[in-house]
């Protein structure tokens, strides 16, 4: 009897040890990175390390941000809340003023006894103006933080800006590039990777949540020359401006409000060849980031941490590179709201691909769940654990994205497996409907076709529960919206 009791006690005790095991989280983000990556089918762009990560875990083919603007998107990822739930809809909103009691993702892990460290950009930063500072960070999220900066910040005067008349007028919204003969570690993102590797090695014997935030490929597009050399300029192709803009003939005017007066390619007086040069530079920055991701993966392998670490790679939103005559983000088009998301780790299928839409607010509950913890109540997202274990599982949740031009000018978009439906000001300012089965580039707006009115009515009803939650507030005085910045320049 005593022996039996001891055996039962041992089994229970052993089970408690298994349950108590804490998986690490390596949380990797890139800034303004679209899905022009090898593992997303764009073979021109050389990303062997991101592709390597995709083979290690699950690639989400249709992952969508909730707002295609850095600050709100990053806040939604870190809180698991939609922009309208948190109130964070402007570039420089203050998370703690809006939601003083929110428990952020890194904060949650910190409360569970993890080391929570940040290197680089996770919350919003002005880029490059706030590189090397805390930017708009949330101190409660982290155990400690680090803000490296390299020559892309300290030698900004060497950056080529288009048009030349904009030199010295700020690089945060620019078409600008630089290809110095330099080492990776001369640049901010090289230093970010080096510091993250240092943290991995320092904290390898305790549970950690290490957030590594790269600033590239956000403009200005600066990377070592060797990455530019990977993309001969003659191989960089772009749609002609006339043809590109024709794609927008059937789009509501409000959908293009930010860009209309600043073409070609968003900034005035930029030539087609200059835009191609910027696209080359963007791809160079993508390959530069890919190399840093490889260094992080190598560090986990070197320290025997692969089997106990969940890795996620994501970007805050997508990015236009001349398609439809557009550049940058802040649109409800697929190119703007779709972004890469890869997750690997213990218990996650290797080489899996999910083609159902998922949302970035799902990141928070997914990481908590996969790390073996209880998902907090009150999050807007859901755990993707079922898909991480079975990528072919039927998944019918749509993805919701939004754009805010002003408290009275908003657009909401719903993405299902087949359709994207967008309405502006509740449909009063225009509607868009795209069939991704036949029109993946969203060229033909079907919203005026009688045969689709019933379908659109159903989508509109679904969007209403999201748009009706918005509480209007003006942009912070110390951080105007991008739209307001341009109004001041007129």
Residue 159 lies in a domain: yes
Question: Based on the number of CB atoms within 10 Å of its own CB, is 245 exposed (0-12), middle (13-18) or buried (19 or more)?
Answer: middle
Candidates 153, 295, 284, 151; CA nearest to 212 is 295
Contacts of residues 96-99 at CB distance under 8 Å and 24 or more positions apart, as own/partner, are 96/138, 96/140
Residue 436 lies in a domain: no
Considering only CA atoms, give the Rg of the chain: 22
Domain that holds residue 63: 23-397
**Predicted local confidence at residue 263, as pLDDT:** 85
Q: Where are the alpha helices (DSSP H) in 310-401?
A: 334-337, 363-370, 385-389
Residue 489 lies in a domain: no
**1, two tokens:** 């009897």
Name 435's bridge partners.
419
Residue 240 lies in a domain: yes
Candidates 135, 106, 116, 108; CA nearest to 31 is 135
Alpha-carbon torsion (464, 424, 475, 88), positive or negative: positive
Q: What is the DSSP letter of 93?
A: -
Candidates 403, 421, 436; CA nearest to 83 is 403
Residues carrying an active site annotation? 70, 124
Number of structural domains in the chain: 1
User: What's the CATH number where 151 sits?
Assistant: 3.40.720.10
Residue 119 lies in a domain: yes
Give the Cα separation of 313 and 59 in Å (integer): 10
The answer to whether residues 53 and 293 touch, using CB atoms and an 8 Å cutoff, is: yes
Q: Where are the alpha helices (DSSP H) in 57-104?
A: 70-79, 83-86, 95-98
| Element holding 328 (H helix, E strand) | strand 327-328
**Predicted local confidence at residue 22, as pLDDT:** 87
The answer to whether residues 375 and 365 touch, using CB atoms and an 8 Å cutoff, is: yes
The answer to whether residues 32 and 325 touch, using CB atoms and an 8 Å cutoff, is: no
**Predicted local confidence at residue 266, as pLDDT:** 86
**Predicted local confidence at residue 354, as pLDDT:** 98
Give the β-pairing of 338-339 and 63-64. antiparallel
The tens place of each residue's pLDDT in the chain, 490 residues long, gives 444 444 443 334 443 333 457 899 999 999 999 999 999 999 999 999 999 999 999 999 999 999 999 999 999 999 999 999 999 999 989 999 999 999 999 999 999 999 999 999 999 999 999 999 999 999 999 999 999 999 999 999 999 999 999 888 889 999 999 999 999 999 999 999 999 999 999 999 999 999 999 999 999 999 999 999 999 999 999 999 999 989 999 999 999 988 877 888 888 899 999 999 999 999 999 999 999 999 999 999 999 999 999 999 999 999 999 999 999 999 999 999 999 999 999 999 999 999 999 999 999 999 999 999 999 999 999 999 999 999 999 999 999 999 999 889 999 999 999 999 999 999 999 999 999 999 999 999 999 999 999 999 999 999 999 999 988 888 887 544 443 433 443 3
User: Quick count: other Cβ atoms within 10 Å of Cβ 321?
Assistant: 20
Give the Cα separation of 402 and 67 in Å (integer): 5
Give the Cα separation of 188 and 125 in Å (integer): 13
Torsions phi, psi for 383 (to 5 deg): -70, 135
Residue 250 lies in a domain: yes
| Element holding 222 (H helix, E strand) | strand 221-222
End-to-end distance of the chain based on CA atoms, in angstroms? 87
Residue 200 lies in a domain: yes
**Predicted local confidence at residue 484, as pLDDT:** 42
Question: Based on the number of CB atoms within 10 Å of its own CB, is 104 exposed (0-12), middle (13-18) or buried (19 or more)?
Answer: buried
Residue 154 lies in a domain: yes
Mapping DSSP to helix (H, G, I), strand (E, B) and coil, where does residue 321 land? strand
**Predicted local confidence at residue 108, as pLDDT:** 98
The answer to whether residues 99 and 86 touch, using CB atoms and an 8 Å cutoff, is: yes
């Amino acid at each position: 009897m005593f022996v039996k009791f001891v055996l039962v006690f041992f089994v229970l005790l052993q089970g408690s040890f298994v349950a108590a095991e804490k998986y690490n989280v390596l949380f990797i983000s890139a800034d303004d990175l679209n899905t022009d990556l090898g593992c997303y089918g764009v073979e021109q762009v050389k990303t062997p390390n991101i592709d390597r990560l995709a083979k290690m875990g699950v690639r989400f083919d249709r992952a969508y941000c909730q707002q295609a603007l850095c600050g709100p998107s990053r806040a939604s990822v870190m809180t698991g809340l939609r922009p309208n739930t948190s109130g964070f809809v402007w570039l420089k909103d203050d998370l703690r003023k809006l939601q003083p009691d929110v428990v952020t993702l890194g904060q949650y892990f910190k409360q569970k006894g993890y080391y929570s460290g940040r290197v680089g950009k996770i919350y919003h930063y002005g880029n490059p103006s706030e590189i090397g500072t805390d930017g708009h960070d949330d101190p409660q999220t982290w155990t400690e933080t680090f803000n490296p900066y390299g020559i892309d910040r300290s030698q900004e005067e060497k950056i080529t800006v288009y048009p030349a008349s904009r030199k010295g007028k700020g690089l945060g919204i620019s078409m600008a590039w630089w290809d110095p003969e330099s080492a990776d570690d001369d640049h901010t993102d090289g230093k970010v990777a080096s510091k993250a590797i240092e943290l991995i090695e320092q904290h390898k014997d305790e549970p950690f949540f290490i957030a590594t935030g790269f600033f590239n490929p956000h403009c200005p597009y600066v990377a070592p020359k060797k990455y530019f050399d990977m993309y001969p300029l003659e191989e960089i192709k772009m749609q002609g401006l006339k043809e590109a803009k024709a794609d927008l003939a059937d789009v509501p005017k409000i959908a293009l409000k930010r860009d209309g007066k600043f073409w070609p390619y968003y900034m005035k007086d930029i030539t087609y060849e200059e835009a191609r040069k910027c696209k080359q530079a963007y791809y160079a920055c993508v390959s530069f980031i890919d190399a840093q991701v490889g260094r992080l993966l190598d560090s986990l392998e070197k320290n025997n941490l692969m089997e106990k670490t969940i890795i996620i790679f994501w970007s805050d939103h997508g990015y236009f590179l001349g398609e439809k005559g557009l550049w940058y983000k802040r649109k409800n088009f697929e190119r703007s709201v779709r972004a890469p998301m890869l997750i690997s780790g213990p218990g996650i299928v290797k080489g899996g691909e999910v083609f159902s839409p998922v949302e970035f607010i799902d990141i928070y509950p997914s990481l908590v769940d996969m790390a073996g913890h209880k998902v907090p109540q009150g999050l807007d997202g859901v755990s993707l654990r079922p898909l991480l274990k079975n990528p072919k599982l039927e998944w019918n949740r749509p993805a919701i994205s939004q754009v805010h031009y002003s408290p009275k000018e908003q657009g909401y978009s719903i993405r299902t497996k087949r359709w994207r439906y967008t309405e502006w000001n509740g449909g009063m300012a225009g509607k868009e409907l795209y069939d991704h089965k036949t029109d993946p580039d969203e060229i033909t707006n079907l919203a005026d076709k009688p045969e689709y009115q019933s379908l659109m009515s159903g989508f509109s009803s679904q969007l209403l529960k999201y748009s009706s939650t918005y509480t209007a507030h003006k942009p912070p005085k110390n951080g105007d919206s991008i739209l307001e910045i341009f109004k001041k320049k007129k």
